[in-house]
Amino acid sequence: MEYIKQRLSAIYRESDTVKIWPELKGKLVEAKETPYKERKQRWDEKDIVLITYSDQFQEEGQPTLATFEKVFDRYLADKFEIVHLLPFYPYSSDDGFSVVDYKKVNPIAGDWEDVDKLSKKTRIMFDYVCNHISAKSDWFTEYKKGNPEYSGFFTEMDPNVDLSSVTRPRSTPVLTRFKMEDGSEKHIWTTFSEDQIDLNFKNPKVLLRMIDILLFYIEQGAEYIRLDAVGFMWKEVGGTCIHLEKTHQIIKLFRDIVEEVAKGTVIITETNVPHKDNISYFGNGSDEAHMVYQFPLPPLVLYSINRGNGSALTEWAKNLQPAGENTTFFNFLASHDGIGLNPIRGIISEEEILDLVTDLKREGAKVNYKKNPDGTESPYEINVTYLDALNKLSDNDELRVKRFLTAHSILLSLQGVPAVYIQSILGSRNDYEGAVKTGMNRSINRQKYSLDKIETELEKSGSLRSRIYGELTDIIQIRKAEALFHPDVPMEILEKGEKVFALKRGNDPQKSLINIHNIANEPVDYKISGSFINIITGEEMAFDGSITLSPYQFLWLKAI
């Protein structure tokens, strides 16, 4: 374990390392002796992730995890190999991301036995909310009481210090004023909200406590661990306080620990930032995150279909460097958050981003803004279901289905592990009532359902929800059965004009797969020759020069 001690020395002074190493080593020795569920080593084409809340489906008198298990068994188990359960711990705000107690299950969801039951049927991703904790937590309550055990757990700051260069993901202030039990006042660092108190990782005791949480999650069956808002963990006054070297070292330490204790556990970093910064969390390809979220993908696919022009998507995708032998991309289109815009700044002009925002607001989307260092505000994310983002209010359901499936074909075709949000698989529309009820724009894409209602709607033949569920899950199952979709199989982007997004998986012409997408609302000619099988329909197809693609048509063509 000496290499873990060396990693610790890259974070703290030698005196601090010497002080905390015996305790950390003891935790690791104990963890290694704990019997864990056997973990899959690496990933393959079958690995498709479902993103969901633990209370997504509800029935009276039942813990929501038990109800989710019913829906999963009936509708989802053969489609998804991994379930990302968004924070299922007790919380005070932000639909789970303001954790009150890291080691408890929200009573509405059930208990650890319910989590264990689900983990016996599928692999589970836990959220590790490592940057901040709830202002209602025992940790912060004891800190305000002056309990010395929690001294230095949070970042205190003189409100007169210039923090204008600090990267702001929200329009709220960096510091929040809190009254201590002794009557004094302190200003505490709160990156996201006054209810989400940043942990102070400069204090080695904080790191030890959070490693204890990490090991606990592994013990409870987490096979994928998502590091939420991880880019903000380390603070240095006078800079941006994001992506700092000590932050990277802490993530590398987390990877060292999971590799030592439960090899096969996957670390995923959630950093909703421009692409260059995002992929820095791969480290050197073997010492930091196993996967990083592909954050430019959701806004780029949306922009391309909205404009009927895939030039920006093609240019971006062709310049993607392979993730590396021991890493891969975590691809997605929709999640519990909005569609982030920061990741495409520098790929698409600011004028075009603002035009897209204006168009989507006109069609019913909500928008969240961030504060810039000069005091101005810029759109940070679009809040909308992905189905409604792709379509106009006046569109018919036939067009909605076509656009939606084309977008998800792109998602499922790209190199990496794809993830599908529960609202997408359900074909959900904007939940305006939910947004009004909570006062949060993000609630527009977080609707919860009674078990009776969702089963009735999914079984209603010909409905928009039923069609999207059926047709999307069909192509998911086809994707899982095709070895050329393995994340390690090479990808080549084919430049075939602005109205087409096309790519090839595999280097061998006799063992390759061409995925073609017409992203425009008009027929497009595509030049192609040879004999193929369309693996979606099973139809053999021969081309001698070109094919005409109907609006939003896509083909998965395997060479024969």
In the chain, count H helices and then E strands.
Answer: 17, 23
Q: Is 245 within 8 Å of 147 (Cβ atoms)?
A: no
DSSP string, 144-194: HHT-GGGTTSB-B--TTS--TTS--SSSS-SEEEEE-TTS-EEEEE-SSBT
Q: Is 337 annotated as a binding residue?
A: yes
Q: Is 473 within 8 Å of 79 (Cβ atoms)?
A: yes
Q: Is 55 annotated as a binding residue?
A: no
Angle of helix 14-32 relative to helix 204-219, nearest 10 degrees?
Answer: 10
User: Is 228 one of the annotated active-site residues of the chain?
Assistant: yes
The span from the first CA to the last CA of the chain, in angstroms, equals: 51
Which of 198, 228, 388, 431 does the annotation list as catalytic?
228
Query: Three-state SS for 254?
Result: helix
The CA distance from 536 to 474, in Å, is 8
Q: Is residue 252 within a helix (H) or strand (E), and if so which, with residue range?
A: helix 245-261
The CA distance from 343 to 302, in Å, is 13
The CA distance from 310 to 245, in Å, is 36
Q: Is 488 annotated as a binding residue?
A: no
Of the candidates 226, 229, 264, 259, which has an alpha carbon nearest to the alpha carbon of residue 243? Answer: 229
The CA distance from 295 to 275, in Å, is 7
Of the candidates 174, 193, 187, 202, which has an alpha carbon nearest to the alpha carbon of residue 136? Answer: 193
Which amino acid is residue 272, in one-letter code?
A: N
Q: Is 287 annotated as a binding residue?
A: no
Q: Is 7 annotated as a binding residue?
A: no
Q: Is 13 annotated as a binding residue?
A: no
Q: Is 431 annotated as a binding residue?
A: no
Q: Is 209 annotated as a binding residue?
A: no
Residues forming the annotated binding site?
94, 132, 226-228, 336-337, 442
Residues forming the annotated binding site for substrate?
94, 132, 226-228, 336-337, 442
Residues belonging to the active site:
228
